[in-house]
Amino acid sequence: MSATKSVSVDFEIFGKVQGVFFRKYTQKRALNLGLGGFVMNTSKGTVVGRIEGEQKKVKDMKQWLEKTGSPKSRIDRAVFSEEKPMTQASASGNKEQKVALSKR
């Protein structure tokens, strides 16, 4: 029996993603998938964050971020970077107005 591979990936979402409850829906979707990380608005009108968890669930979340989002959002582009294996959850840092995706 093989262990489940956990990964983390950073993301930035471009389009109409602020003022449309994008962070709230992102948090809800991540919680439903059992993922961790954070999500926050940027001063340039995008949403950035990190997804952490089981590789298959992270893949599902990436697809949701790229294609679905919140009901009133318009996603023009999703950029994913820094995908790497995880040894432990690391949703920490000092960024302001960060919304945790799950409670760990």
Closest by Cα among 102, 85, 96 to 27 = 102
Q: Check if the beta carbon of residue 53 is closer than 8 Å to that of residue 29.
A: no
Alpha carbon distance 104, 37 (integer Å): 10
Residue 32 falls in the annotated catalytic set = no
- Which one of the listed residues 29, 41, 50, 74 is annotated catalytic? 41
Residue 23 falls in the annotated catalytic set = yes
- Which one of the listed residues 23, 29, 32, 74 is annotated catalytic? 23
- What residues act catalytically? 23, 41
